[in-house]
Amino acid sequence: MGSSPTAGLDLARAITTLFEQVWSAALGEPLRAAEDVPWDAAGLERFCVSIRGDWCGAVVLSCPHGTAVEFAASLLGKERGELSAGEIEATLFELVNIFCGNLKSVLPGRNELALPCRAPLELPLDRTALAHEQCLSFRGWPLRLQVFSALR
């Protein structure tokens, strides 16, 4: 995936494929493409994993709280009302971390993952570029995946 003109396209394709595979395997059903999703930044849950090494960047998963609850209910096999806030948060940390572990395997060179964390509402974008973005839905609940690469 070096610096060829198709490197960005190859990475985008790999991200799309990995994201679909990871979520389908973890949740037992596929994600669907979502168009024109209204995003209220104040009501979003945002989870992030930073990647450092030969490729530097971050993966951010954003979704309304209802989507996070739906993910946790599906993954943990519980009813939505039975979930604690800690279970919901841990589920999203785990899902974004699993995805990033798989993404790391297709990135060039040697890279390390930071621990998953809550992402701030505004990322410091002065040193990063949006490398990939997908808006999807799970059982009608929206989510957004963004991959940022560090500018060198």
Which residue ranges form the domains of the chain, and what is each CATH number? 7-150 (3.40.1550.10)
The share of the chain scoring above pLDDT 90, in percent, equals: 48
pLDDT digits (tens, 9 = 90+) for 120-150: 755 555 667 888 888 888 888 899 999 998 8
Neighbouring residues of 143: CB distance < 8 A, sequence distance ≥ 6:
31, 34, 61, 62, 63, 67, 135, 136, 137
What is the reported pTM? 0.85
